[in-house]
């Protein structure tokens, strides 16, 4: 196409310079050439990677159900219009400030089960299902950024209100936060997927409650922690007392058993002692030396009689 246009320009230029109305013909020729170039370039559309093209028929106002993929596509510029839509991963950030990519004050305001107000910062990562992009455009007739900050934001707010509105504020801020995020993401996904918006991740970045509510929650948490500490200490002391009691009972049983054993031994020993045994034991310990005593009387030691063989 480039060489034919160049030939035409050369031919028209030659005719324009050779004719009587040279200047006028030259301008006319240049205008025709420019028109041909514009017509040639507008007859083709390039779709960028990560995007699809929506074909809109100007005459009837309808939208093709099948989108155009990435690449160059021929089209009739008079009868059709191509709108390019992104299908790559995107992240919608809704926060109070603009530091994290939010357009303005996009925080979401909801109420807890007690009616306490909560302002929430969230982010949602999503992709567009390419096959459903034409339906998405036909429904909203606008670009994806406007849909995000309109219908998608309202869907997120409604899901959060349904989840947070059924829970106490202390639970949402504390132990049930992860559960609330999961339930909200499920509701959001369910309501957006018919339009081809596929939710990949939903995050609850920050929750803000009134200062009086936060103070009351913090006080309650401190009291619960103190009560738990006291309960643990009481349980520890109880276990220790039970252990000491068991040890004392064991010692008492041991002493009783020892006393009973000693008493039995003494009883058996008493029964075994006789006069002959005493004399015998004394004789075994005598060294044969008579005791040295003063006085006229001589002590006599009675030896047990030994039977002669």
Chain-centroid distance, C-alpha 142? 34
- Residue 59: helix, strand or coil by DSSP? coil
pLDDT reported for residue 16: 46
Q: Of 57-61, 173-177, 179-183, 300-304, where does mean pLDDT reach its minimum?
A: 300-304
Does the predicted model carry a pTM greater than 0.85? no
Evaluate if residue 64 carries a pLDDT over 80. yes
The candidate with the shortest Cα–Cα distance to 67, out of 56, 76, 59, is 56
Name the average pLDDT for the chain.
78
How far apart are the C-alpha atoms of 246 and 166, rounded to whole Å? 51
Tokens of 72: 């160059």
CA dist list (Å): 305 to 115, 274, 281, 302, 308: 113, 15, 14, 9, 9
Q: Which residue has the higher pLDDT, 295 or 162?
A: 162
Stretch 229-254: mean pLDDT: 74
How far apart are the C-alpha atoms of 59 and 99, rounded to whole Å? 44
Tokens of 70: 């990435």
Instruction: Out of 3.40.1480.10, 3.30.479.30, 3.40.50.170, 3.10.20.30, select the CATH number for domain 90-209.
Output: 3.30.479.30
DSSP states along 113-162: TT--EEEEEEEEEEEE-GGGHHHHHHHH-S-HHHHIIIIIHHHHHHHHHH
Structure confidence by residue, pLDDT tens digits, 195-241: 999 999 999 999 888 887 766 666 665 555 666 666 777 777 777 77
Kindly indicate the confidence band of residue 131, based on its pLDDT and cuts at 50, 70 and 90. Answer: very high
Report the first-to-last Cα separation within the chain, whole angstroms: 154
């Amino acid at each position: 196409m480039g060489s034919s246009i160049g030939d035409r320009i050369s031919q028209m230029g030659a005719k324009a310079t050779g004719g009587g109305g040279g200047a006028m013909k030259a301008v006319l020729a240049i205008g025709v050439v420019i028109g041909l170039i514009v017509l040639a370039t507008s007859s083709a559309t390039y779709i960028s990677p990560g995007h699809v093209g929506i074909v809109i028929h100007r005459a009837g106002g309808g939208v093709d159900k099948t989108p155009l993929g990435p690449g160059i596509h021929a089209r009739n510029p008079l009868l059709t219009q191509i709108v390019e839509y992104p299908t790559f991963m995107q992240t919608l950030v809704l926060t109070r400030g603009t530091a994290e990519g939010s357009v303005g004050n996009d925080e979401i305001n909801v109420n807890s089960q007690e009616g306490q107000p909560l302002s929430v910062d969230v982010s949602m990562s999503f992709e567009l299902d390419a096959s459903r992009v034409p339906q998405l455009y036909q429904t909203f007739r606008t670009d994806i950024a406007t849909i995000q900050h309109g219908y998608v934001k309202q869907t997120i707010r409604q899901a959060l209100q349904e989840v947070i509105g059924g829970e106490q504020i202390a639970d949402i801020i504390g132990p049930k936060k992860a559960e609330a995020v999961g339930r909200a993401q499920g509701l959001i996904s369910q309501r957006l997927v018919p339009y081809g918006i596929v939710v990949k991740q939903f995050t609850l970045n920050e929750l803000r409650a009134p200062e009086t509510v936060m103070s009351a929650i913090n006080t309650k948490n401190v009291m619960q922690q103190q009560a738990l500490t006291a309960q643990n200490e009481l349980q520890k002391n109880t276990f220790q007392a039970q252990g000491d009691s068991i040890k004392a009972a064991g010692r008492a049983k041991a002493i009783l058993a020892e006393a009973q054993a000693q008493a039995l031994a003494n009883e058996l020993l008493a029964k075994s002692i006789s006069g002959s045994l005493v004399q015998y034991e004394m004789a075994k310990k005598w060294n044969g030396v008579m005791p040295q005593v003063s006085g006229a009387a001589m002590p006599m030691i009675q030896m047990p009689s030994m039977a002669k063989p």
